Amino acid sequence: MSQDLMRYAARMDLSKMGAIMPRRMAHIAQGAPVPPKLDYAANLTAKALHPKCQKLLVAEVIEREGGAKSFVLRAQEGGELARFRAGQFLSFSLAIGGSTITRAYSLCCPPSWAKQGKYMITVKPSEDGFAGNWICANWHEGTQVTASAPLGEFSYTRLRDARHILGVCGGSGVTPFCAMACAIAEGSEDYSLTLLYGSRDSDSILLGEELAALAQRCERFTLVNVLERGGGDESGYITTELIKKYMPEGDCSLFVCGPAAMMQAMETAIAPLGLPERRIRRKTYGVTEAALEADWPQEAAGKTFSLTVKMRDQTYTVPCASGETVLVAMERAGLEPPSRCRSGECGWCRSRLSAGTVYIPARTEHRRKADLAYGYIHPCCSFPTSDLTLCVGCE
């Protein structure tokens, strides 16, 4: 013991120590019988920015090209909505035909809209579509919908991305880029965007007028319409050579978004560019089609397997075709499994595969190394190649 501590101990009156506890207990007895409920500012902010779900109302329906529709959404009880970054999406819970499914749709409005209490998404029906066709037929002004908080990593991040983004898209894949162009034009996000937008012809350019107006008034956004049938800024298809033509000098990030068939073709087109993987961002629209993948196991084609699902202390056995994802099979059976992005990225549907084998396309493989080691899969991008046993929500 040091000399200072010795002198301090010598001055202490140990007889007073016994009075400390009675005084402390008397002070505690004067307090409230239950702990106070405190709403800390940080917790309130986190709840507002990252709600578990958002109850929204269709405030306006805007007719678009090719039968597509834009839906302006507001909070059912008014007020501000959860903030988002341009390029993020909302995951909607939809009750269709006795089943509850989820679908992700990118926000196509500027981030400032959230402060005004509104969002906008654009949905395009298709010949073989399901959820998109149902939304366009059933959502009207006043329809109440449930959505997640804004999600996704298909957005500019200063620490990760170059200051110039070269975007490549087709079809509904233009919607996140529309939000990016809006963000650049309003000054809420600081980067430049050159967009190669592939369409069949001039009549099928989704959000074409809005994009053209943005490009005219904002010098940091350049729009290049690539029309398959000619007549645009470029004709034909988006190829490696066309991407190189518009790729800016120096460092850039490449963002690619479109339907599954286009994304498959783009993997071949961007390979010769020599960009580091950290500079490439991908987002697939629609359900991944396993049969389009070069390494798809042909021996599984056309087969239907048995899927045993353990979820919420119950066990279910449902059929699962090799050409559909495990998630779709569960939704079709009315099991309501958790899901959000439907592209393998967010991990919301993460489940343990205790028996059987699945095929996962390489471009949708986003699992952590620990999940690979311990048998967890993302059902939204996993296709059965045998009978399966899946534990949903089990650790």
**Predicted pLDDT at 259:** 86
What is the tens place of the pLDDT at every residue in 204-219? 899 999 999 999 999 9
d(Cα 162, Cα 166) in Å, to the nearest integer?
A: 10
Give the mean pLDDT of 349-365.
92
Rounded percentage of the chain residues whose pLDDT exceeds 70: 95
**Predicted pLDDT at 63:** 95
The CATH number of 51-147 is 2.40.30.10
Domain locations in the chain as residue ranges: 51-147, 164-286, 298-392
**Predicted pLDDT at 280:** 93
d(Cα 143, Cα 129) in Å, to the nearest integer?
A: 21
Task: For domain 164-286, give its CATH number from 3.40.50.80, 3.40.190.10, 3.30.930.10, 3.40.50.10490.
Answer: 3.40.50.80
Q: Looking at per-residue confidence, does 158 or 8 come out higher?
A: 158
pTM here is: 0.84
d(Cα 347, Cα 367) in Å, to the nearest integer?
A: 8
Give the mean pLDDT of 243-267.
91
Question: In the CATH scheme, what architecture does the domain 298-392 have?
Answer: Roll (3.10)
Same fold, 164-286 and 298-392: no
Q: What's the start-to-end Cα distance of the chain, in Å?
A: 51
Q: Is 131 helix (H, G, I), strand (E, B) or coil?
A: helix
Distances, alpha carbon 328 to alpha carbons 125, 238, 381, in Å: 19, 31, 10
What is the tens place of the pLDDT at every residue in 15-63? 676 777 888 888 888 877 777 777 778 887 777 778 888 999 999 999 9
Predicted confidence band of residue 379 (pLDDT cuts 50, 70, 90): very high
What is the tens place of the pLDDT at every residue in 90-108? 999 999 988 889 999 999 9
What is the tens place of the pLDDT at every residue in 327-347? 999 999 999 999 998 888 888
